[in-house]
Every structure is written in structure tokens, then in C-alpha cells.
Amino acid sequence: MANQACGVQTVDYAVANEVLAKGTGNRSASWTPAVANWHRMRVQLPHFKGGLGLTPQRASSLAAFYSASSTFVGWLAQRTHMRHWIRQDQHLDAHSTWTADPLVELKAAHRCLIQQYKCVEAAPDAAPAAAGADNTEARAAAPLSLPPLNLLHKQHSLSEEEIGAGCVLPPQRRVTKQVMRYWEPHVTAKDAPPNDRCRQMLELHCKQSFPAISRVAKGEPGHSILGPDMPIEEEPDCDPSKQARVEYSPLAHAVCLSDLPWKPHEYESYFCQLLGVPLPQLVPLVRDACVRVAVMSSMHSVTRSTPARSTREAPKPPTRPSWTHSRLSVSRPASKPRGATSPR
């Protein structure tokens, strides 16, 4: 997977590049690598972070393998025919004895999550914060606690002390979220937006959170119409961490757009506006307008740079020759008077 020429990472890049090419009318082929990395990140970020939700398979596969393998160890420990699956010299409660390839890979995934993706092993302080539903920000910022490998076999029979010590196997979606938080391509791209507009569009499409009940007086800054009609019983002076909030993800509607009868230019305009890049349908108009403005400005500057010395000496504009002056005159012989006879 680490090889850039093959593997799951190549599939991730190909899928993201195809989505960008479709949405920009193949104009993404002219982007620099830094610009392409930024917009590829926009495509792969989840909806609540301002992206289209195409999670890289290389990131999700790590979480899927760890969760599935850890669950398998717990399931295998409850089987009476466990020795049909692993050899006699391996013990599920002692990971140092693991030599089977799936178990060895599980140890490597466990070590990778701790070293590269900032997970912690059996952290009692991280477990309550991650499990609490009252404080969203604290739950999101809390490190992910992983159970020790020696306790994977008894996840079905953990004691209260072990549960409080953070030895519970987290859900797969939580592991994926932790991996995506420290995903190296996204961390690198997020620090180098192509321009301010691209950065602002990412911020505008991130999840927005509002208090369900407004505590600001009407007419004051920050007041919200939410409150009287909300069916929530909440004390006016309750702790801010326990206040109910309404969350809105602007890009959550993206999953409903696949059934719409999009025209190519309509979809390109929507997609480019989403990314913060110039709209293809407006680029020719803007270019022509800029050319006209540049020509008019240059003509105005030339006119102002060569003024006449005085009113008397100012040259008069040339007069347009009239048709009577420019028309060639053709002489005709004089007509004979009536009654006159020609001499013989």
C-alpha cells in the first residue's frame, strides 16, 4: 500500500482525480500538485468537515482490519474448538506468542495506531471523555483509547475496573475518525490552501452548531429565534457543556444529488463553486471584460498623457470630406438652344 505505483492508495488517487475531472470539465489536469492535493482533500473529507465523504480506502481499511481482527480474537476465545484455528504454542492472552500472520498483522496495526495516529492504550482519562455525550468538543478532542492486546480475548467479560480503565474496544467508525484526523496527506494539504477563497469555502461548508435555546435577549447580538418552540426542558443557567445544540452540515445534502437530472455545465458550475475555483461558464466572460477594461484604460492613459498646449494651438479634428467634394465632376457638352440649327 505504501507503493505509489500500485495498491489501495493508487485507487484512492484515481477515484478522487476522476471526481475532480468530472466536476471541473477536465480542468483539474492543469492544476499544480499542491492545488490538486488540496482539492483531493476536499473530496475525501467527511461531510461535517466540509468534504464530499469519499473516505480514502487506505485509511478506512486500517480501521476495518483492526476492528475485525480484534473482534475475531474475542470471538475465537469463546469457541471450544479454538485449537483448530491456532497452534498449541499460541495463547490469545499473551500476544508475545502470536506467530500466525493475521495475529502478527493485528499487532502491527495496533502499534501503527498508537505511534502514527496518536491513539493511547488503556487510558482511563480518555475513555470517559470519549464516551460522554454531553460535551461534543471534548469528545472530539479526546484521544482514542485502545484495549491492550492481552485483553482482546475477554472483551465479552470485562470487569468494571477494566472498563473504567479504557480497555473497551472502540467502534470501527471511531477508529476511522481517529485515523482521518491525523491522515498525513490531509494534514499536509490543509496547511497550504491555494488561495483565501478556497480556504473560506472549506470553512463555510464545515459543520455548524447552534444552541437549541437562545439565552441572548431579543435585539442583542447573537440572539436566535430558536427557543420558545423547542421541545427541550432545560434550565436557563445550566452548564454550557450540557446545553442542547442544533448541528447542521451544509454538505449533508450531497448524497441526494445523484438522482437529479444534471446538465454538464450546471454540475460543473455547482462543483467549481463548491471548491472555490473559477466557474467555467464565467471565465470567458470575465476574460473578455478584462480585455475591454484594459483597452479602455490604456486609451484613456494615452489621451491624458498627450494634452494640447493651449486652446489655440490644439489641433482641430479632421473634417470628413463630403460626397460633393470628393465626387469626380464630368463635363458635358452644352445643349443646343431651341430653334438653333447647326452650321453647315
Q: How is the chain split into domains, by residue range?
A: 7-56+185-212+244-281, 57-182
83 pLDDT more than 80: no
pTM for this one?
0.69
Q: Which residues contact 107 (CB under 8 A, 6 or more apart)?
A: 95, 98, 149
Pairing, β 208-211 against β 245-248: antiparallel
Say how far apart CA 124 and CA 13 lie, in whole Å: 38
Say how far apart CA 286 and CA 277 lie, in whole Å: 14
Nine-digit cell at 40?
A: 483531493
301 pLDDT more than 90: no
Say how far apart CA 40 and CA 85 lie, in whole Å: 42
pLDDT value at residue 173: 92
pLDDT value at residue 1: 41
- 258: confidence class by pLDDT, cuts 50, 70, 90: low
343 pLDDT more than 50: no
Say how far apart CA 193 and CA 48 lie, in whole Å: 19
Among residues 73, 75, 70, 78, the alpha carbon closest in space to that of 90 is found at 73
21 pLDDT more than 90: yes
pLDDT value at residue 288: 55
pLDDT value at residue 310: 45
pLDDT value at residue 305: 46
User: Does residue 277 or residue 289 have the better pLDDT?
Assistant: 277
* Mean residue pLDDT across the chain: 77
pLDDT value at residue 112: 95
162 pLDDT more than 50: yes
Mean pLDDT within 277-298: 63
Q: Is 48 helix (H, G, I), strand (E, B) or coil?
A: coil
Residue with grid cell 469463546, as numbered in its chain: 78
113 pLDDT more than 60: yes
**Which helix H or strand E contains 162, and what residues bound it?**
helix 160-164
327 pLDDT more than 70: no
The 10s digit of each residue's pLDDT in 25-49 is 899 999 999 999 999 999 999 988 9
Mean pLDDT within 196-201: 93
- Give the C-alpha distances (Å, rounded to integers) separating 209 from 180, 192, 246, 278: 21, 26, 6, 29
* Of 100-109, 257-266, 329-338, minimum mean pLDDT range: 329-338
Rounded to whole angstroms, the maximal C-alpha distance in the chain is 152
Percentage of the chain exceeding pLDDT 70: 72
Q: How many CA atoms lie within 13 A of 321 on its CB side?
A: 5
- Look up residue 5 and give its amino acid: A
Q: Please classify residue 31 by burial: count the beta carbons closer than 10 Å to its beta carbon, then call 0-12 exposed, 13-18 middle and 19+ buried.
A: middle
Q: Is 101 helix (H, G, I), strand (E, B) or coil?
A: helix
256 pLDDT more than 90: no
Nine-digit cell at 51?
A: 468534504
Contact between residue 64 and residue 105 where contact means Cβ atoms under 8 Å apart: no
Helices 33-44 and 8-24 pack at an angle, to 10 degrees, of 100
pLDDT value at residue 265: 86
* Of 62-76, 233-247, 328-342, minimum mean pLDDT range: 328-342
pLDDT value at residue 84: 78
User: Does residue 61 or residue 6 have the better pLDDT?
Assistant: 61
- Give the C-alpha distances (Å, rounded to integers) separating 286 from 278, 279, 281, 282, 298: 10, 10, 10, 6, 18
Q: Is 132 helix (H, G, I), strand (E, B) or coil?
A: coil
Q: What is the DSSP string of 329-344?
A: P---PPPPPTT-----
